[in-house]
Amino acid sequence: MGALHVNYETGPINTAVKVYINGIQVPRPNGEGDLGGGAQGQNYIVKKMKFDKDKRILYYNSDIRIENIPLEVDEYIVNGRSALGWLVDQYQVSTDKASGIVNDPNDWAREHYYPRYILDLVLRIIELSMRTVEIVRGLPKLAI
């Protein structure tokens, strides 16, 4: 399980979810190639992601939505909230009021010519969460 968590940025991508770009379901993501965002990756820019009320759909941006997010994803908790919930909260464009400095999570993706980095990370965190919950459920009960 350690390798799964240490290598979360390069780990396996969840293929159970459905990814839609401009309302069209794209082939199951596999971490390679393009999901339809074009050469500049304009579809992959994140401003602020949000869930539907049941947390089964994630609106990545105005062009992309991720559906069929398993319920178990919410069971993997890090510092009081799900790993995916933390990612959604942290990966948004924000401006520090005091300094005016803009924090844009898309900058790293642009600098490394990896426009779908954040989308792939979301899909990897879904998979990591699912595998972690499966492992934890398989552990023997402690005798108290």
pTM tops 0.85 = yes
Q: How many CB atoms lie within 10 A of CB 77?
A: 14
What is the model's pLDDT at position 121?
95
Q: Identify whether 82 is part of a domain.
A: yes
Q: Identify whether 76 is part of a domain.
A: yes
Q: Identify whether 142 is part of a domain.
A: no
Q: Tens of pLDDT along the chain (144 residues)?
A: 677 778 788 888 898 899 999 999 987 655 444 444 444 556 899 999 999 999 999 999 999 999 999 999 999 998 899 999 999 999 999 999 999 999 999 999 999 999 999 999 999 999 999 999 999 999 999 888
Phi, psi values for residue 112, rounded to 5°: -105, 10
Total tally of structural domains belonging to the chain: 1
Q: Measure the CA–CA gap between 56 and 34, rounded to whole angstroms.
A: 24
Q: Identify whether 143 is part of a domain.
A: no
- Could you list the residue range(s) of the whole structural domain that residue 9 is in? 2-132
Q: How would you classify residue 113: left for phi > 0, otherwise alpha for psi between -120 and 50, otherwise beta? A: left
Planar angle of CA 39, 44, 50, nearest 5 degrees = 170
Q: Measure the CA–CA gap between 43 and 46, rounded to whole angstroms.
A: 9
On whether the CB atoms of residues 93 and 48 are closer than 8 A, the answer is yes
What is the model's pLDDT at position 37?
45
Q: Identify whether 144 is part of a domain.
A: no
